[in-house]
């Protein structure tokens, strides 16, 4: 019960902080919009396969940028203050939940904008593609939150964030791209059940490992 | 003698499999032909690698609770030895692929995933080098090692099953079990696995002991 209370307060704190500066939201939105625009200028017309790959590449870098700051940006003093107040489990759960929320909002906005610039390919299962995008943003946020916690403990976090997270995210990305491609080709929804299951399993594993490991990570 | 018997066993097994693997009869199969002998040298590399990485994770978990330096060194050195075997596995696979698939690297899912799982461990070493303070390095590297291990399992054992691959045992290609009906190959293959795993463990213990000695001199 206490844990739930702590998580609630921490998420509220994150949302208030974000709403005051709107740094991540605006920054990443601007990033997505300008990238999509640059892609439009250089591609003009794209085929199905590139459409899918391009979307996930844009989302990959957007989510790294958005989530890397979750631990890297916090000052040492504030971290100490939070650590005296709440349990480590509450902190990692709150960060992950908040990042998932942020990423889902960002991904949906990005996907809408992306499909305005580059039209959805004909015959695509749009609803299923949105499901893929939401599942993707969930997996990105669970993995990147933990990696950002690890990277923040080293001297130069920004560089390490990319090095540490890419090999971990690649398997997820491969499954996601396959799942999204199924949706884009308008295949029957039951075809993608394997991918959904695998993504769910990966997320559960990552979350449990993160929950088990974070208590060791958080204090210096 | 009590402590060296498994080293002798490892040497004997590896020599036996090298000789028998190259000289004994093997089933004649289209495309594979004599390259089927690569089974004795390529597959054991991956077994040894997985065993060494498992040892590495085990000591990472242990070093988180005991905070002892020796456990940390064990984790690093077994990962190091595991990487050697991973690279050897990729090379033996690539040479085999040159003669059966026509190219050293044809971006087959199995090849890609193996390369990515090695990247995971290279990232582990980059992370270690990024932190100066020893205890902090031991702790954070251990956490990353444990975090990365399930992903390696997914990469090597789950994802290749879901994709089409030219690799034997995947995508409808005949695997090991379907063509060793007379069990001749098993007679060499199992000892080869055991032998190379023992050699890998040996390499790891040697690396661990030299590292401990180096640290003592400092």
- Each residue of A82-98: pLDDT tens digit? 888 888 889 999 999 99
For the residues B145-152, what does the mean pLDDT come to? 90
Query: Do A153 and B158 lie within an 8 Å CB cutoff?
Result: no
Q: How far is CA B87 from the centre of its chain?
A: 8
Beta-carbon contacts of residue B167 (< 8 Å; ≥ 6 apart): B108, B109, B110, B160, B173
**Tens digit of pLDDT for each residue in B59-86?**
999 999 888 889 999 999 999 999 999 9
> Which of B61, B131, B144 would you mutate first to test chain A, the one with the most A CBs within 10 A?
B144
Contact criterion met (CB below 8 Å) for A210 and A92: yes
Select from A150, A171, A178 the Cβ nearest to the Cβ of B144: A150
**Tens digit of pLDDT for each residue in A175-187?**
899 899 888 888 8
Using CA atoms of B73, B78, B83, B84 in order, give the dihedral in degrees to the nearest 10.
110
- Give how far B149 is from chain A: nearest CA, Å: 10
Model confidence at B181: pLDDT above 60:
no
- Name the more confident of A124 and A59: A59
The half-sphere exposure of A154 on its side-chain side, counting CA atoms within 13 A, is 27
What are the residues of chain A with a beta carbon less than 8 Å away from any beta carbon of chain B? Answer: 146-147, 150, 153-156, 160, 163-164, 166-168, 170-171, 174-175, 178, 194, 198, 202, 205-206, 209-210, 213, 216-217, 220
Query: Do B119 and A167 lie within an 8 Å CB cutoff?
Result: yes
Average pLDDT taken over every residue of chain A = 87
The half-sphere exposure of B217 on its side-chain side, counting CA atoms within 13 A, is 5
Tracing tokens 């060793």 back to the chain, one arrives at: B180
Residue A123, judged by CB atoms within 10 A of its CB (0-12, 13-18, 19+), counts as exposed
- Kindly state the percentage of chain B with pLDDT values over 90: 42
Average pLDDT taken over every residue of chain B = 86
**Tens digit of pLDDT for each residue in B33-56?**
777 888 888 989 999 999 999 999
User: Of A98, A106, A167, nearest to A136 (Cα)?
Assistant: A106
Contact criterion met (CB below 8 Å) for B117 and B152: yes
- Name the more confident of B33 and A1: B33
Task: Give the residue numbers spanning the domain of B191.
Answer: 5-217
pLDDT score recorded for residue B88:
94
pLDDT score recorded for residue B170:
61
* B65 to chain A: closest CA residue: A216
Give B144's pLDDT tier (boundaries 50, 70, 90): very high
Q: In 10 A of CB B73, how many CB atoms?
A: 20
| Cβ-based contacts of B150 with chain A (< 8 Å) | 205-206, 209
Q: In 10 A of CB B172, how many CB atoms?
A: 8
Contact criterion met (CB below 8 Å) for A194 and B110: no
- Give how far A70 is from chain B: nearest CA, Å: 18
Distance from first CA to last CA of chain B, Å, rounded?
A: 32
pTM of the model: 0.87
pLDDT score recorded for residue A44:
78
Q: How far is CA B7 from the centre of its chain?
A: 18
Beta-carbon contacts of residue B127 (< 8 Å; ≥ 6 apart): A150, A154, A160, A163, A164, B140, B141, B144
Model confidence at B205: pLDDT above 80:
yes
* Positive or negative: CA dihedral A133, A135, A138, A139: negative
- Give how far A2 is from chain B: nearest CA, Å: 26
| Cβ-based contacts of A139 with chain B (< 8 Å) | none
pLDDT score recorded for residue B46:
92
Model confidence at B180: pLDDT above 70:
no
Query: Do A155 and B130 lie within an 8 Å CB cutoff?
Result: yes
pLDDT score recorded for residue B177:
57
pLDDT score recorded for residue A118:
84
Q: How far apart are CA A140 and CA A150, in angstroms?
A: 15
Beta-carbon contacts of residue A172 (< 8 Å; ≥ 6 apart): A136, A139, A140, A143, A199, A202
Q: What is the domain count for chain B?
A: 1
Residue B116, judged by CB atoms within 10 A of its CB (0-12, 13-18, 19+), counts as buried
Query: Do A206 and B155 lie within an 8 Å CB cutoff?
Result: no
């Amino acid at each position: 019960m206490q844990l739930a209370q702590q998580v609630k307060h921490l998420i509220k704190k994150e949302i208030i902080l974000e709403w005051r500066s709107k740094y991540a939201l605006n920054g990443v939105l601007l990033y997505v919009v300008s990238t999509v625009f640059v892609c439009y200028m250089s591609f003009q017309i794209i085929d199905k396969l590139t459409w899918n790959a391009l979307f996930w590449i844009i989302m990959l870098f957007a989510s790294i940028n958005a989530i890397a700051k979750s631990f890297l940006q916090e000052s040492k003093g504030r971290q100490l203050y939070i650590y005296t107040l709440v349990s480590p489990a509450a902190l990692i759960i709150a960060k992950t939940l908040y990042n998932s929320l942020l990423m889902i909002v960002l991904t949906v906005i990005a996907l809408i904008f992306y499909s305005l610039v580059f039209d959805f390919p004909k015959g695509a299962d749009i609803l299923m593609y949105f499901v893929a995008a939401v599942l993707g943003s969930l997996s990105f946020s669970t993995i990147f939150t933990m990696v950002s916690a690890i990277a923040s403990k080293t001297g130069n976090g920004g560089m390490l964030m990319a090095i540490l997270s890419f090999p971990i995210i690649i398997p997820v990305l491969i499954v996601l791209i396959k799942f999204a491609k199924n949706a884009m080709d308008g295949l029957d929804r039951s075809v993608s059940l394997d991918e959904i299951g695998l993504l769910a399993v990966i997320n559960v594993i990552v979350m449990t490992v993160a929950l088990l490991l974070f208590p060791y990570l958080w204090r210096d | 003698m009590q402590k060296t018997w498994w080293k002798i066993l490892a040497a004997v097994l590896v020599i036996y499999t090298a000789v028998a693997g190259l000289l004994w009869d093997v089933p004649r199969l289209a495309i594979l032909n004599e390259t089927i002998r690569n089974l004795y040298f390529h597959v054991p590399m991956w077994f040894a690698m997985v065993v060494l990485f498992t040892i590495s994770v085990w000591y990472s978990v242990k070093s988180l609770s005991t905070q002892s330096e020796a456990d940390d060194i064990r984790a690093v050195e077994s990962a190091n030895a595991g990487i050697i075997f991973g690279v050897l596995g990729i090379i033996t696979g690539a040479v085999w692929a040159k003669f059966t698939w026509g190219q050293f690297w044809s971006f087959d899912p199995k090849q890609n995933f193996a390369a990515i799982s090695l990247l995971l461990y290279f990232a582990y070493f980059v992370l270690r080098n990024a932190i100066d303070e020893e205890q902090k390095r031991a702790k954070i590297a251990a956490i990353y090692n444990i975090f990365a291990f399930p992903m390696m399992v997914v990469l090597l054992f789950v994802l290749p099953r879901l994709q089409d691959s030219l690799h034997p045992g995947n995508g409808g290609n005949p695997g090991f079990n379907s063509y060793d009906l007379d069990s001749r190959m098993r007679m060499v293959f199992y000892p080869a696995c055991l032998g190379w795993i023992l050699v890998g463990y040996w390499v790891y213990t040697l690396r661990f002991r030299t590292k401990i000695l180096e640290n003592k001199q400092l």
